[in-house]
Amino acid sequence: MNHRQAKRADTSAHPQGPSALEAEAAQERFGCLSRMRQQILLNELLSTRTAELMLAYPDLLAIGQGFRRRRTNARRVTGEIVSGERCVLFLVRTKFKCRSASRRRLPAHLYCHDVIRGRRVLLAIPTDVDEARPLVANAAPPSAVDVDGVGEYGVLTCRVDCRLPNGAVEQRVLSCRHVFGLSGIRAPDLPTAIISHEAKPIGNAVDVRGKLGSNVPSGFDAQLMQPLTPGAADHCLLRAHWPGGFASYAGEFETTMWLHFPRQSGPFRAHYRGIWIHLKVQYGTGETSFAANVGPVIEVDLDNSDAPRAGDSGSPLVIGFTKAKLAGMHIAGLVDNGDGRALSYCIPAYALLDPKNYAGAAGEVWELP
C-alpha cells in the first residue's frame, strides 16, 4: 500500500470505540505506513495525549516510544527480544498477571486519525508495557578520566564546536553532569572542576550543564569541559571527528547500534528498544545520594551481560562503523534485565547537541567537528 504524506494527525481517542473489524483494519493501516510517517504519528500522539494518559491510568509511571518486545524460544536467545514493530511504551511498577485487574489494564492500542489518499481514516498504534527497574548512574572507578582528584571516574563522549553569541567558536568536550560534577558524590555537586587523565590535567569542566536534582521535573545529565589546549583530550575520545554527524531525531535510530564502552574487547551490539520521555535514575550512595527524573532517555538491550560497569558513563552510542553517526551518551544501566541481557540508558544525540537543554548556553549554536 502506497501512502502519501498527510496532514497533521488527529491523535484523539476513538470516541465510541471501533468494532472488531474496524480495529483490525486500523492496526493494518498503521503497520503499512512508512517508517517516517509512523514516527510522526507517534511524536504527535505523545505530545497531545501524554498528560491525559498519565491521569487516566494511575499505575502508569512513564510513557515513551520505540519497538515492541516478543517472546522467543530461539536456540541462542531466551525470554523476550526487541521486534521491528513500532509502538507506544508504557512503564509500570508491576505487570498485571490475572484477569481480576482487567479494568486497570493499559490499552493494547491507541487510536488516532490520519488522511490517506484524501480520506480521513482510523489508525491503531500498538502499545507495549515494561516494568520499572532500579537504574544507577554508572560513574565510579575505574575508567578514563578523574575529576577533582576523586579517582578515575568516567568517559568523554565527543568534541563539540560551540559558536558563541559574539561569533567566536570554542571547542569543548561533552560528558555527563554526574561525571564532571560528581553528582551524588559531592553535595552540592561541582559547577566547575579540573579534569585529568593519568594524573595530567586535560581541561576544566565549565558551568554549562543541564539541570539535575531530586526536585527537577525532568533533569538533563550532561555538561561541557573546556580543554586546556586544542587536542588535549583527543586521546581520551573514541573519535576526534564523527564522519556521519549525529542523529537529529528519534526516527534515525536503527534497530541495531553500537555502544563503545572503555573495553579492549571492542564495542557492544545494542538493540534499540525505544525512547522514554523521562526515567528515574539513582545518583551516588550514602548521605549525598539522590534520585532524579532524567529525560529524554534511549533504552537499548545489550547482547553481553558483562556491561555496563561502573565508570562507563559518557560512553558513546553510535550508528554504523566506517562513517559512524553519534546516537547518544550512556548515563545509566542494568546488568541483567531478567532474561540474561544487560540494558543501557542513553541521552539521545539530538538532545545533547541542543544548547536549550543547558544553563549557561543562551544564544549559542553547537555542532560536531
Question: CA-to-CA distance for 311 and 95, rounded, in angstroms?
Answer: 32
Q: Residue 126: what pLDDT?
A: 93
Q: Burial of 331 by CB count in 10 Å (0-12 exposed, 13-18 middle, 19+ buried)?
A: buried
Q: Residue 345: what pLDDT?
A: 94
Q: Residue 351: what pLDDT?
A: 97
Q: 318 near 324, Cβ under 8 Å? A: yes
Q: Residue 77: what pLDDT?
A: 47
Tens of pLDDT, residues 250-268:
889 988 899 988 887 778 8
Alpha-carbon torsion angle 180, 182, 187, 191, nearest 10: 0
Neighbours of 265 (CB within 10 A): 9
Query: What is the pTM for the complete model shown?
Result: 0.81
Amino acid at 352: L
Q: Residue 102: what pLDDT?
A: 59
Please name the helix (run of DSSP H) or strand (run of DSSP E) that holds residue 344, with its range, or none.
strand 342-348
Q: Residue 111: what pLDDT?
A: 93
Distances (CA, A) of 190 to 54, 143, 204: 35, 19, 11
Tell whether omega for the bond before 141 is within 30 degrees of 0, i.e. cis. Answer: no
Q: 92 near 129, Cβ under 8 Å? A: yes
Q: Residue 97: what pLDDT?
A: 66
Question: CA-to-CA distance for 149 and 155, rounded, in angstroms?
Answer: 15
Q: Residue 308: what pLDDT?
A: 81
User: Which residues does the chain have with pLDDT short of 70?
Assistant: 1-17, 71-82, 97-103, 134-146, 148-152, 304-306, 338-339
Listing DSSP states for 138-154 in one string gives ---SSSSEEETTSSEEE
Angle ∠(80,85,86) on CA atoms, nearest 5? 115
Which phi and psi (to 5°) does residue 222 adopt? Answer: -150, 150
Q: Burial of 26 by CB count in 10 Å (0-12 exposed, 13-18 middle, 19+ buried)?
A: buried
Q: Residue 285: what pLDDT?
A: 79
Question: CA-to-CA distance for 58 and 24, rounded, in angstroms?
Answer: 28
- C-alpha grid cell for residue 55? 491521569
Q: Residue 336: what pLDDT?
A: 74
Q: Residue 4: what pLDDT?
A: 35
Tens of pLDDT, residues 39-55:
889 989 998 999 899 88
- For residues 163-185, b (16+ Cβ closer than 10 Å) or e, as one string? eeeeeeeeebbbbbbbbbbbbbb
Identify the CATH number of the domain defined by range 133-369.
2.40.10.10
Q: What is the location of CATH 2.40.10.10 in the chain?
A: 133-369
Cite the DSSP H helix spans in the chain.
20-32, 35-56, 177-180, 349-352
Q: Burial of 16 by CB count in 10 Å (0-12 exposed, 13-18 middle, 19+ buried)?
A: exposed
